[in-house]
Structure 1
Amino acid sequence: MTAASSRLGDLVAALPLTPVPDNPPGWEDLTVHGVRSDNRRVGGGELFAGHGGAHVHGARYARDAVGAGATAVLTDPAGAELLAREGSLGVPVLVAEDVPALLGELAAAVYGRPAEALGTFAVTGTNGKTSTVYMLDHALRSLGRTTGLIGTVEVRVAGRSEPAVLTTPQPADLQALLADMVATGVTDMSMEVSSHALGLRRVDPVVFDVAGFTNLSQDHLDYHGTLEQYFAAKASLFAPARSRRGVVVVDDSWGRRLAETAAAERPGAVASLSVQGHDADWRVTEITGEGQGHTFTLIHRDGRRLRTGTGLPGGFNVTNAALAAAMVLTSGVEPDRLEASLAAAGGLTPVIPGRMEQLADFPRVIVDFAHNPGALQQAVDALRATTAGRLVLVFGATGSRDRGKRPQMAQVAVDGADAVVIADDDPHDESPDQIRAELLAAADAHRPGSQVREIGNRAEAIRTAVLEAAEEDTVLVAGRGHEKIQEVAGVDHHLDDREEVRAALALRPGRAGGSAR
């Protein structure tokens, strides 16, 4: 993709950038073809941005970036002092007071503002972001669009896929990715936008065509501090500077608050949606089906209606599907056209790695990313209602994160499951024994005498649960979903819950994995 404003002199004229006094002669006419904040991703011709970090200043990697082909460097005053002490880099150096705040705008200018050439959809919320984004992508593809997807699991560009590093990429990486999408012929892009990304301004200056809000419950308080601050970060996606229109699910108090605020501040720009009977612009009615899917009708106050469905289990997936459909309709697609295209595509039923992913039928074994109280409650409720035998839950809690949600997760587990196996999740730098002890203590305090076992080794815990399950049972392996790396004390270990489930199924007597999917 051709950059629209990549001459350094043009960038300095347009943005609050200051060249250092000893830049090489003629630096203003130098052209940069990209922006990178990771020296390992420099390929040649880019501007390298090095700013202050949690442990080390990024300017320390500037010389490596130049060695890899960076033709200019952006840093902050502290970084400029560091570079001055180390001697000339031989390339122009620009200085900004707040590099992270400027980086998205700078990268957008260098890459030619690619977001403006795409239909853009963003989803935020505690739970359901990934599923809704996959449903959005599925709906758009059913309409014949060429799509891009950015999320927790992967990044897709016109059918090409690679694993995601962050739920929402860093600002310069996001703009580079959007430029790649435009160059590849993508017409519409759907992405998850995390509260961290909003707080750190990773998506700026993108103004999304349609934003969606799923729900809000306790999560990430280790970063945000309070639910109020967490909500404020999520709500910022619906400000005019970040989205043109929006759809907000109002089936929890946070969604209702967001919709009411948006209605007052931006009349007509943000629509409400309810599955549970609340007064809303979009309402879901005529829900039919159970177990492995539902059909439903989505009706707007103005009379527009759509009949569709999803084959994914759980009432919460009706909400996710309805939100995805409402967002596509809000973008200007006619209901009749979307209904016909989804009918031909099998409804809103994409394959979503690690999201209520069913790997076997008898016993039913499901891997889900549920890693907070709200998501775990939803998954347990959905499976409890459709399980003929016992519901067996394997779960743990992430270390070095919000400890306040652990007792709540333990309560959900013992209230909803017939048998619980507490195993390690991602301990990070926290003692795995201590994490399990907290969960066990909370479970026992809430419901003494519950069938709770502790098997720290996650692979062993999964194997035990699957091998002991009867054919009419359901085994839910919750917490890690699609993840393939387990971090313990700073060391990464390969661990994929889905692989462990399949290996355990193959060991079931007389089955040879015959019930596996």
Structure 2
Amino acid sequence: MKLSQIVMPELFMPPEWDRDVHHLIIDSRDVQPGDVFIARQGAAAHGAQHITDAVQRGAAAILAEGDAQGFRCEWNDDGDTIPVFISADIKQHLNTWLFRRYPLNSMSLIGVTGTNGKSSVTQYIAQLASACGEACGVLGTLGNGRWPQLAPTRNTTPDLSIILRNLSELTEQSVNLTAMEVSSHGLSQKRVAGIGFSIAVLTNLTQDHLDYHGTMDHYFAAKRALFVDHGVQIALINTDDEYGRRLAADKALTCKVMRYGRNAEADVRYRMTALTGAGIEAELTTPWGTGHLSLPLIGEFNLANASAAIAALAAKGLDFNALCAAASQLQPVAGRMELYTKAGAPMAVIDFAHTPDALSNVIGALKPWDKPLTTVFGCGGDRDRSKRPLMAAVVARESDFAVLTDDNPRTEDPHQIFADVLAGAPELAHEHNRTAAIRQAVTSAGADGIVLIAGKGHENYQDIMGVKHPYSDESVLLSLGYQKAGGAHD
């Protein structure tokens, strides 16, 4: 696309300096040959400091925010002349130019916001849609792209330029449906300004990010903006949550409101019917019918997240019965409550929990299974030492048996880490070799038990004295004959 087609008439483009360009980039580190670098005033610095870097990376032109209209040239290493257009109105017009360069066209967006569950709901939407033959994109904390090929991202809700570029690339791959995490920071900082969502989901709202928002009311107001400022057609709201009930009753919502949860007033109502060694059995009552779910997932929150994903896609027109059937293949977010099974052996769960609160929450989610619980855990080196005895106390109090082991010792002496941890529960069994600790836990737990392996999640290494040695909790379980519950997503 010609630069003039993007910036005119807001910015005059002399014909002699017009040129074909690729992407509009706001971070010089992302510039590729042919891109346009946007040098804006940021919170701490001006992007103009990185113009030279952008030019050397191959920028075809620079649009720089300045006090007055102006023009100058830069030269790259090959001696090519790179125009720098200076205007006080760059920030004012940037969103217009972004949408001109990256029109959304046929893309349908499902926005998911909330304190917890955003990653799970967006990935469940993508998994279910894909299983039902609908290509689906994901934008969020754990990566952007067409499911399941996700590229890493720096932010839960990145800058508008990155969002639109990703959506444009998805459209080029014939993807017309995308599930997107929408954070409160992204909403309050207008990173999704101008984007319309066909469906918006609120998972929950609990205390978080008050260092930024100041109060819960301000935090809620940021989330509420998704539902009132973005052309939402259907609001899918968890009304088991206090703030969800508040939002569902908000007269400013002009869209269709659908409630989901356990409560009797919910339009989409889930009910656990059985807890098994393979996960959760549940009944889902909806406007599209009543379905049976066999979820290879652990924790009622995952049932709530799966129900939200099914409802969002059913509201988009996908077959409800097919979605319920596809749910039997769902996989949790990598490293979070991942369930592994083996005949005649205890259930095994891998989770990233590595703080006292996180451990307590994960163990609490396993309590409804009413099985003896063995916890394998460790504390990372070169990190907060004060939490170590607190983690030990939680595990000792809430588990039937526990084994302390190495996590990522990093540059600390593992024996010193153990000493810190055991100060909170001296009676804990301990084994530095993590593989041996897991084997011990699985062997001693008994077939009717659960083994929780906490701390490392999906990490595939163990950091010891600056060297990342190949290691994963999953590999240990697989070597013991375990299989991951549900489907496999490479």
The normalised TM-score by structure 2 is 0.78
TM-aligned CA distance change 1:372 to 1:322, over 3 Å: farther
Looking at structure 1, the residues matched to 415 and 186 of structure 2 have their Cα atoms a distance apart, in angstroms, of: 32
For 2:368, the equivalent position in structure 1 comes to 385
The answer to whether the 8 Å contact 1:420/1:451 transfers is: no
Moved more, 209-218 or 231-240: 231-240
In the alignment, structure 1 residue 8 sits paired with structure 2 residue 4: yes
Question: Residue in 2 aligned with 1:476?
Answer: 452
Q: What are the residue-to-residue correspondences of 1:477-496 with 2, within 5 Å?
A: 477-478=453-454, 481-482=457-458, 494=468
Q: Is residue 2:196 matched to residue 1:207?
A: yes
The aligned amino acid for 2:291 is R
1:107 aligns with 2:98: yes
The answer on whether the counterparts of 2:199 and 2:234 sit within 8 Å (CA) in structure 1 is: yes
| 1:339 is aligned to 2:325 | no
Verify: 1:270 aligned to 2:266, yes or no: no
1:514 aligns with 2:481: yes
Match of 1:306 in 2: 290
The 2-side partners of 1:55 and 1:437 are apart by 42
Q: CA RMSD in A?
A: 4.6
Q: Is the 8 A contact 1:250 1:273 kept in 2?
A: yes
Deviations 1:290-316 (A, max 9, x none): 44333433334xx54230422212222
2-structure distance, mates of 1:454, 1:216: 38
Q: Contact 1:426–1:487 at 8 Å: present in 2 too?
A: yes
Query: Letter of the aligned partner of 1:265 in structure 2?
Result: A
Task: Please give the residue correspondences for 1:275-424 in structure 2 after superposition, counting only pairs within 5 Å.
Answer: 275=262, 277-285=263-271, 287-300=273-286, 303-309=287-293, 310-333=295-318, 337-340=319-322, 342-343=324-325, 345=326, 347=328, 349-350=330-331, 352-359=333-340, 361=342, 362-370=345-353, 376-386=359-369, 388-392=371-375, 394=377, 413=395, 416-418=398-400
Query: Is this contact kept in 1: 2:272–2:280, CA < 8 A?
Result: no
Specify every segment of 5 or more residues in structure 2 that has no aligned partner in the other structure, as ranges.
485-490
Q: Distance in 1 between matches of 2:297 and 2:41?
A: 44
Give per-residue Cα distances to partners, 1:157-179, cap 9 Å, x unaligned: 26544334433333212211111
Is the contact made by 1:282 and 1:299 (CA closer than 8 Å) also made in structure 2?
Answer: yes
Q: 1:190–1:373: structure 2 CA closer, same or farther, 3 Å change rule?
A: farther
**Alpha-carbon contact 1:392-1:475 (below 8 Å) kept:** yes
Q: 1:293 to 1:274 in 2, by over 3 A?
A: same
Tell me by how many angstroms 1:413 deviates: 4.9
Q: Give the counterpart letter for 2:101 in structure 1.
A: V
Write out aligned runs for 1:212-231 (5 A): 212-231=201-220
State whether residues 282 and 292 of structure 2, in contact with CA within 8 Å, keep that contact through their aligned partners in structure 1: yes
Deviation, structure 1 residue 102: 6.3
> Mind listing any 5+ residue stretches in structure 1 that lack a counterpart?
507-511
Asked whether the 8 Å contact 1:51–1:79 carries over to 2, the reply is no
Residues 1:407 and 1:322: Cα distance change in structure 2 (over 3 Å): farther
**Counterpart of 1:500?**
472
Greater CA deviation, 317-326 or 146-155? 146-155
Aligned length: 474
Alignment of 1:188 with 2:177, yes or no, is: yes
The letter of the residue matching 2:362 is A
Structure 1 length normalisation: TM-score? 0.74
Q: Is the 8 A contact 1:105 1:205 kept in 2?
A: no
Q: Percent identity?
A: 30
Written as runs of structure 1 = structure 2, the 5 A alignment for 1:168-183 is 168-183=157-172
Distance 1:283 1:158, change over 3 A: closer
The aligned residue for residue 509 of structure 1 is none
